[in-house]
With several copies, the nearest count.
Chain A
Amino acid sequence: MSASTFSATVEARRTLGGGYFVLSLCADAPTPIAEATPGQFVMVRGAWGRDLLNPRAFSVLAFDDARRFSILAKVFGRGTARLAEAEPGDPMSVTGPLGRGFPAPREGRVQLLVAGGVGLPPLHLQARQAAAAGRPAAVEMLYGGRSRADLVLVDDLEGWGTPLALATEDGSVGARGRVTALLEERLAIARARGEAVEILACGPTPMLAAVRRIGLDAGVATFLCLEEQMACGFGVCLGCAVPVHGPRPYRYCCTDGPVFPAEEVRWP
């Protein structure tokens, strides 16, 4: 898995509402971006002078070829606010693809993709690749957010034939409640059917903590795509430590992750 650091140009920004937007980038020369696996990410920074010093991490949402790829972001703080103003033609510095992604689907085992809000991209790419491999039902998307505006790119999933269950906390679309409730229901069904499943989750940390508990309690293989504050994204600053069980107390979100087996993460 080779990464590179390269200049890219914004090709388009598609605003999705609710602060979400898709940024399409084109690298100035061919890169390894098309080797990205779902969960791998890029570090992105614009021509931002001396403030907003560090790049921001974004999961790879999709790629067309060795130059064209896109990310899905939500306006959160100053960096994403700045990115949300990017115009076609703006230059960006990019490093990636970085990290280790989710395991690929295995024969005879359904992957339950649990996405919360802006945690969608890795799972969206996982679903895309399953569909492209002619096995859209090798994965099932359980997708939750606060409200209707937090569920974006649903059309894509529907178009691919990805089995899909939605939940919103305000009930504005799908089931009312959290995506973890969908997961518990789905696991109960799997248990009843004797179906082999595994869990792939990405979303806000409290959601991941809940998914982890559910997965561990159910004895189901569970993989979490974590977010930690990152400065470099390639294993140098040691800022993105993830507390783990094992021979050492920390591993690194950017190089060992961002995807970690649930049982490895040292959380309550």
Chain B
Amino acid sequence: MSAPPPAHAPLAPEAVDLRTRFAGLELQTPLLAASGCFAYGQQFAAFTDLRRLGGLVTKGISPAPRYGNPVPRICETAAGMLNSIGLENVGVDAFLADKLPFLRDLGVSVWVNFFGTDFPTYVECAERLSAGAGAGIDVLEMNISCPNIKHGGIEFGTVPEVAHRLTKACVEASSIPIVVKLSPNAGDIVGMAQAVKEAGAAGVSLINTITGMAIDVRRRRPRIATTYGGLSGPAIKPIALRMVHQVARALPDLPICGIGGVMSGEDALEFLMAGATTVQVGTALFAEPGAIVRITEELRALMGELGIADVVAAVGVLEAIPPEVPYVPA
């Protein structure tokens, strides 16, 4: 038996304050567009008001342009999808020259996701983004977790010592705060978070996609050309929430950006209550380019209904289920 929910007087949605801070930055809402699901933003301008986002995370940028993986690159799975895009991107120079100005002018928090293919190119990327950026980039989100590139990615993302060294080098090379995006493929997510925190990460993004596979039995082939791809969408939400909660409990002062299967205001609030300060929306943007604006209003309304006036107050408010009446053997 569970007791009735705690009573909090409901509020009008307008009374709900969605402004928040993440690693020292101010954001007008906790909701960001996730890397790889937003490209460099221009495509969304036709569909939604980008100035209403809390922030955005760009497609992962590497020092040189990359062309990505063979096709097919995506397929759908139960309540999710697999992708193996191969970290295709325009490269640092073209990003700074052609893509960043549009994003900077939106007036929302700009996070640039980046990666290298080895240690020096990671550091190079951080350095060049940080140097070339002027005041336009708020956060460098370091992707150490993409399972799709052969060299680099996966090892950095699963071995705490390697992640520590890499983070440290990038933090030292960058004048912009670095948030490390961790891989759920790591066996010990708390160990990974601890390692990058100690290396100077301003926060962590949790989670990237989980390596998965699907098979076309009629063609006797994997559905993704590279055999494995990254699983995203509502299917992974329970795993993402668990990892956010584990890290938040173990490292209470490390800011966490929660990611994984968010499709509604209620999903976003789950991540906040689990301990995330901000929340990214990825796959949901494909079916609904305006998803973040809808989710923002749903979050506002739900917080009002539950009497939570301030989004900062929702972070980590989770209580344990009250214990049962003790059992006394007869």
Contacts and interface: CB of A to CB of B under 8 A. Distances in A.
Q: Is A in direct contact with B (CB under 8 Å) within the complex?
A: yes
Interface of A: 2-5, 43, 45, 50-55, 93, 95, 205-206, 208-209, 228-243, 245-250, 265-268
Nearest to A224: B1
Contacts of A232: 285-286, 289
Interface of B: 1-4, 36-39, 43-44, 46-48, 59, 67-76, 78-81, 83, 85, 88, 233-234, 261, 263, 283, 285-290, 324-325, 327-330
Contacts of A54: 76, 81, 283, 286-287
Contacts of A267: 1, 325
A174 to B, nearest CB: 22
Contacts, number: 131
A247 B330 contact: yes
A241 B73 contact: yes
Given A54-B287, A246-B330, A231 B74 contact: yes
A50 B78 contact: yes
Given A53-B76, A231-B286, A266-B325, A3 B88 contact: no
A243 B72 CA distance: 10
B55 to A, nearest CB: 17
B288 A243 contact: no
A229 B75 contact: yes
A241 to B, nearest CB: 5
Given A236-B43, A236-B44, 13 more contacts: A4-B46, A4-B47, A50-B261, A95-B289, A206-B4, A229-B72, A231-B83, A237-B37, A239-B83, A240-B71, A242-B71, A243-B327, A247-B329
Contact of B85 (A2, A93, A237, A248): A237
13 contacts: A5-B48, A5-B290, A50-B234, A53-B80, A54-B287, A229-B73, A229-B75, A230-B74, A234-B43, A234-B47, A236-B285, A237-B36, A267-B325
A5 B325 contact: no
A80 to B, nearest CB: 13
7 shortest A-B CB distances, which residue pairs? Answer: A239-B74, A249-B327, A50-B78, A232-B286, A50-B234, A231-B286, A236-B39
Of A4, A237, A246, which is in contact with the most chain B CB atoms at under 10 Å from its CB?
A237
Nearest to B84: A239
Contacts of B68: 238, 241, 250
Contacts of B47: 3-5, 95, 234
B70 A243 contact: yes
Given A5-B289, A236-B43, A268 B79 contact: no
A17 B162 CA distance: 60
A248 B79 contact: no
A228 B39 contact: no
Contacts of B328: 245
B58 to A, nearest CB: 11
Contacts of A4: 46-47
Of A3, A45, A54, which is in contact with the most chain B CB atoms at under 10 Å from its CB?
A54
Nearest to B234: A50
A212 B78 CA distance: 35
A128 to B, nearest CB: 27
Of B73, B233, B261, which is in contact with the most chain A CB atoms at under 10 Å from its CB?
B73
Contacts of A228: 71-72
A178 B88 CA distance: 38
Contacts of B3: 206
